[in-house]
């Protein structure tokens, strides 16, 4: 589009615009409930190591409801777009290569205080610094292959969820 807007989700779901990384996006209706939702991805390393079930068990045992989930693989273009916030960073190319090397599980989770509670559940980005019992402490191998992604804000949770799911895929 000439006006620098991109569509996330299905056109019939759009109701308003939101700003992310200096771009205006049309936001689907399901983004109205962002305060109780977060987005996660089980990354290729955890999928390769057979940890999908154990990670989902930790998530649901912590009181999160899965309202959308899919098993998929990111294309190079999708990985570059999803992580474009890191494009100037030295690790960007390695991150894109890692995220496209195998399938992922993407999900939208629901719970009161979802973003903060999920960040606590997954632990520090570097598993060596993660608290005992956190997902990254249990399943990550290092800072680059850290098993899961978790949104860092309500706004990013909404945008990241819309990147992976249309409104009709959210329950």
pLDDT of residue 27: 58
Whether 123 contacts 66, CB under 8 Å = no
How is the chain split into domains, by residue range? 33-169
pLDDT of residue 17: 55
pLDDT of residue 167: 87
pLDDT of residue 16: 53
- pLDDT, averaged per 10 consecutive residues of the chain (171 residues), comes to 42 50 54 73 98 98 98 97 94 96 98 97 97 98 96 94 92 87
CATH for 33-169, options being 3.40.718.10, 3.30.70.141, 3.40.50.300, 1.20.140.150: 3.30.70.141
pLDDT of residue 171: 87
User: What is the pTM (predicted TM-score) of this model?
Assistant: 0.80
Whether 52 contacts 35, CB under 8 Å = no
Alpha-carbon separation of residue 143 from 130, 136, 170, 171 (angstroms): 10, 9, 31, 32
Q: Which residues are catalytic?
A: 149
In terms of C-beta density within 10 A (0-12 exposed, 13-18 middle, 19 or more buried), how is residue 122 classed?
Answer: buried
Q: Render the burial of 78-93: b for 16+ CB within 10 Å, e for the rest.
A: bbbebbeeeeeeeebe
């Amino acid at each position: 589009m000439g006006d620098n807007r991109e569509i996330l989700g299905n056109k019939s779901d759009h109701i308003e615009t939101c700003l992310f990384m200096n771009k205006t996006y049309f936001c689907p209706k399901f983004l109205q409930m962002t305060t109780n939702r977060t987005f996660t991805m089980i990354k290729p390393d955890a999928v390769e190591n057979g940890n999908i079930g154990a990670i989902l068990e930790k998530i649901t045992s912590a009181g999160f409801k899965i309202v959308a989930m899919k098993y998929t693989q990111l294309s190079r273009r999708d990985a570059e777009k999803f992580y474009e916030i890191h494009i100037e960073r030295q690790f960007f190319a390695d991150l894109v290569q890692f995220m496209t090397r195998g399938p992922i599980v993407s999900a939208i989770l629901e719970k009161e205080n979802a973003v903060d509670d999920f960040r606590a559940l997954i632990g520090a980005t570097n598993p060596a610094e993660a608290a005992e019992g956190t997902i990254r402490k249990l399943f990550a191998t290092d800072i680059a292959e850290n098993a899961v992604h978790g949104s860092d804000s309500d706004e990013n949770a909404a945008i990241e969820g819309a990147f992976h799911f249309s409104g009709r895929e959210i329950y």
